[in-house]
Amino acid sequence: LPLMLGRAIAHEFGHALLGPGHSSQGIMQPLWGGEKLGFAAGNAMAFTSDQERALQLAVKARHDGKPEGLQADAQEPAAPHER
């Protein structure tokens, strides 16, 4: 449960900084099957390198007082958020 909760929190922080879009890879995927929730998923449930760069830019923009820089373009086109 802690691992799944941590991944869900990271995913939602990703939305807070990157916007509403989802990706076909990594932790920003819209749907997680059972294979994505376990410990064995490892790096498959991490931010991609493009998302990592976008997160860094978004945090820097917020730090520099430029909130318009928060919506980075490192994800695939926005899809409805699946809950």
CA of residue 76 relative to chain centroid, distance: 11
pLDDT digit string (tens) for the chain, length 83 residues = 788 888 899 999 999 999 999 999 889 999 887 777 766 677 778 899 999 999 999 999 988 887 654 454 444 444 444 43
Q: What is the pLDDT of residue 79?
A: 43
CA of residue 12 relative to chain centroid, distance: 7
The per-residue DSSP string of 3-33 comes to HHHHHHHHHHHHHHHH-S---SSGGG-S---
Rounded Cα distance between 77 and 79, Å, is: 6
Q: What is the pLDDT of residue 73?
A: 45
